[in-house]
Amino acid sequence: MKSRILGLALAIVMLFAVGATAKDTNENKNLKLVYVEWDCANASSHLAKAVLEDKLGYKVELLPVTLPILWTSLATGDADAMVTAWLPNTNKDMYDKYKDKLEVLGKLTDGARIGLAVPDYVPLRSVEELKANAGKFKGQIIGIDPGAAIMRLTENLLKDYSIDNMELMEGSDAIMTSSLAEAIRNKKWIVITAWSPHWLFGRWNLHYLEDPKGSLGSEEAIYNVGRKDLKKDHPEAHAFLSKFAFTGADQLQQLMAWNQEKGADPMKNARRFMTEHPEMVEAWLKK
């Protein structure tokens, strides 16, 4: 009788132990990736999600957020990682504020930059020419969402060059690109806040305006960043995100262009990229 009771007790303990292990394993395979709804961040974040889910068995929640929340959510541990940190210039303020609570995991790509851009039929070559030609642009610079670093830096640029007859218009990535498309269809002058890599440089003939004072910074890179203790809590994800990288900005721009096709699905295009570049995926997962 005692042996039967002892056996039953051991069985119950084993059952709870297995249940707890399964629960812990399930929890360790849940990840939250945050991104701002810009085309470059959308493309790279969905690719990271596809690899983490298809190759490493994670369940990944992609959370679109504003730029300040992007950084604070990682610093507080409410999110696990992102693949869209522009450093050392564009996101400098946010990174400097929270760097003690973050880990830079690896470089996603070189060749990133921000600037003011115009269609090639606009003959201007420098931001120094904007003030004298403000009327041709209706006194507007077409921007994106107000929380973006490029908006803050462009406001600084207007002050640096004493451009007091133009207004930086708030909007979004989608509004900016649709405004650009309409202007180009009608051969109207337009100046936008732009960045590379971006699919719009593949669709239209554009050029950046020179910025002699460096108000918008210089060429930089995009990095993968995680919260502190990511390696301890999610070692496989940490290892992958430390290697996750494109061979160049043109690869990311290609993926972004696929996402602009009619009826495009970012997850399907991410898996298409994985299929077309199996050697890259293998390198990302190599132990």
pLDDT tens-digit map of 146-165: 988 999 999 999 999 999 99
> Can you give the pLDDT at residue 2?
43
Last residue of a domain, one of 182, 208, 234: 208
Q: Domain of residue 188: give its range.
A: 113-208
> Can you give the pLDDT at residue 68?
93
Name the CA dihedral angle for 277, 280, 285, 287, rounded to a multiple of 10 degrees: 140
- Give domain status of residue 159, yes or no: yes
> Can you give the pLDDT at residue 273?
98
- The Cα 264–Cα 46 span in angstroms is 13
> Can you give the pLDDT at residue 188?
98
Residues 122 and 204 in one domain: yes
Domain of 155, CATH number, reads 3.40.190.100
Residues 100 and 228 in one domain: yes
Residues 225 and 108 in one domain: yes
> Can you give the pLDDT at residue 261?
93
Q: Is 125 helix (H, G, I), strand (E, B) or coil?
A: coil
Last residue of a domain, one of 173, 208, 243: 208
- The Cα 103–Cα 83 span in angstroms is 12
Residues 202 and 227 in one domain: no
Last residue of a domain, one of 181, 208, 235: 208
- Give domain status of residue 214, yes or no: no
Contacts of 143 (CB under 8 A, 6+ apart): 150, 151, 154, 168, 169, 170, 171, 176, 192, 193
Domain count, the chain: 2
Residues 65 and 152 in one domain: no
Question: What length does the chain have?
Answer: 287
Cβ–Cβ < 8 Å for 65, 38: no
- Tens-digit pLDDT profile for residues 10-22: 444 344 444 444 3
Residues 106 and 223 in one domain: yes
> Can you give the pLDDT at residue 11?
42
- Please, which pLDDT band fits residue 202 given cuts at 50, 70 and 90? confident
> Can you give the pLDDT at residue 265?
97
Q: Which amino acid is located at 215 in the chain?
A: S
CA terminus-to-terminus distance, the chain? 52
- Give domain status of residue 178, yes or no: yes
- The Cα 213–Cα 239 span in angstroms is 39
> Can you give the pLDDT at residue 165?
98
Q: Quick one: CA dihedral 160, 161, 165, 171, positive or negative?
A: negative
> Can you give the pLDDT at residue 147?
83
Q: Mean per-residue pLDDT for 252-274?
A: 96
Residues 281 and 145 in one domain: no
Residues 198 and 160 in one domain: yes
- The Cα 245–Cα 44 span in angstroms is 9
pTM for the full model?
0.81
- Give domain status of residue 24, yes or no: no
